[in-house]
Amino acid sequence: MATTPGNRRVRRARRHVITAGVAGVLVVSGCGLTGPPDVTGGRTGNAPTSTGPVAEEQAYERTIRQVLPSIVQITTRGGLGSGVVYDTNGHIVTNAHVVGKSTDFEVTLATGGKPRKAKLVASYPLGDLAVIRVTDRSGLAPAAFGDSNKLRVGQIVLAMGNPLGLSGSVTNGIISALGRTVTEPQGEGSPGATITNAIQTSASINPGNSGGALANLAGQVIGIPTLAAINPELGGGAAPGIGFAIPSSTAKDVADQIIKHGRVTNTRRAALGVRVNTVVGPDGKPVGVGVAQVDANSGAAKAGIRPGDIILNVNGKPTPTAAALAEVLATLRPGSKASVELLHPDGKTTTATVTLGVLSGG
């Protein structure tokens, strides 16, 4: 997440609900990694196989030499964050919440030098990704992106970014889990991102790491650190060892679409084809998702869903809020069928079978 230099308060701080079995924990943006190193842990690419403290140290040093020159600090009028050099044409991938509503930036390489001017190419807030482009492309070192589909739990990772404005910082950890779904509510610069297949990693949470690199010991970027956990039971304090990154396969797909088309043309995410809002009961608690508008010729329209209906669950999974509905849909594929339980204005409850469409990238 972006942060104002010298100020630990997170700019546009948001809290996010973790699904996929991590109950009762909230997360906010910004990520750094810590954790027990083990150079023989699971790996992708040509990571070192030798053991011992010297080999371990050399593996870390080699990875940092390979990846750190590709890390940049992105400064906006409201704060700063991190980014990863994507190609020699000046494109840099980062988080949508780092760029916020800004369109002009200053970019500083981790290797130093004067700040360079950059402009927004496009932002994809629904997936919390964005691409900016620097005008001065000299000396750029594009990162090597690995295949996040081949990751394994226990693999060693390094996070590189600019936590609290400390340029070029590196921390270490492991991959704790794969395939998480994390969501964030609406906030400044974001309509509420739902990140699928997120990488969970042991993490030391520091604002400013967002948008940087999560790298393996083969020197490949395998994720973009984006979210970090806090525990509400500790008064909002950090929950040690829980952080999240967008997988590199998703980041590459989004970046390639933005660079080619100027926007995301295929989100690869399922949609009902409705505009919704959370419905609150007399006790003040959410009871379902109210349908405010149904898109013409959408799966919802063809299944008979109408404005005024309340969506209670999808495929048996409760949807008490709009965010919960987004989480469920994020796990489904466009073209598949979903069973949607509805409460109608007359009080009757029915179930509709909807053929899911593709979520718009706008």
Supply the DSSP symbol for 35.
-
Q: What is the β-pairing status of strands 237-247 and 194-201?
A: antiparallel
**Same domain, yes or no: 255 and 311:** no
> Do the Cβ atoms of 63 and 44 come closer than 8 Å?
no
In our burial notation (b when 16+ CB lie closer than 10 A, e otherwise), range 122-139 reads: bbbbbbbbbbbbbeeeee
Q: What is the β-pairing status of strands 349-355 and 337-343?
A: antiparallel
CATH number at residue 201: 2.40.10.120
What is the residue-level pLDDT of the chain in tens, covering all 362 positions? Answer: 444 433 333 333 333 333 333 333 344 444 422 233 333 333 344 444 556 778 888 998 999 999 999 999 999 988 899 999 999 999 999 999 999 999 999 999 988 889 999 999 999 998 999 999 999 999 899 999 999 999 999 999 999 998 878 888 888 899 999 999 887 756 665 556 888 899 999 856 577 888 999 999 999 999 999 887 767 776 666 677 888 999 999 999 999 999 999 999 999 999 999 999 999 989 999 999 999 999 999 999 999 999 999 999 999 999 999 889 988 998 899 999 999 999 999 999 999 999 999 998 76
Q: What does the DSSP assignment read for 295-330?
A: -TTSHHHHTT--TT-EEEEETTEE--SHHHHHHHHH
Please give the Cα distance from 205 to 235 (Å, whole number): 16
Catalytic positions are: 97, 128, 210
**Same domain, yes or no: 137 and 194:** yes
**Same domain, yes or no: 209 and 155:** yes
Tokens of residue 159, six digits: 């996070």
CATH number at residue 305: 2.30.42.10
pLDDT at 71: 95
Query: What total number of domains does the chain contain?
Result: 2
**Same domain, yes or no: 249 and 170:** yes
**Same domain, yes or no: 39 and 153:** yes
Domain housing 68: 1-263
Report residue 104: phi and psi, to 5°. -125, 140
Show which of 242, 263, 284 is a domain's final residue.
Answer: 263
**Same domain, yes or no: 241 and 310:** no
- Terminal CA-CA length for the chain: 22
pLDDT at 227: 81
**Same domain, yes or no: 74 and 182:** yes
Show which of 263, 289, 311 is a domain's final residue.
Answer: 263
Show which of 263, 279, 303 is a domain's final residue.
Answer: 263
**Same domain, yes or no: 238 and 298:** no
In our burial notation (b when 16+ CB lie closer than 10 A, e otherwise), range 316-338 reads: eeebbbbbbbbbbbbbbebeeeb
Of 310, 319, 356, which is closest to residue 337 (Cα–Cα)? Answer: 356
Q: Which helix (H) or strand (E) segment is 175 a member of?
A: strand 169-183
**Same domain, yes or no: 3 and 144:** yes
**Same domain, yes or no: 20 and 48:** yes
**Same domain, yes or no: 183 and 277:** no
**Same domain, yes or no: 243 and 300:** no
Q: What does the DSSP assignment read for 64-124?
A: HHHHGGGEEEEE-SS-EEEEEE--TTSEEEE-HHHHTT--EEEEEETT--S-EEEEEEEEE
Tokens of residue 225, six digits: 């650190």
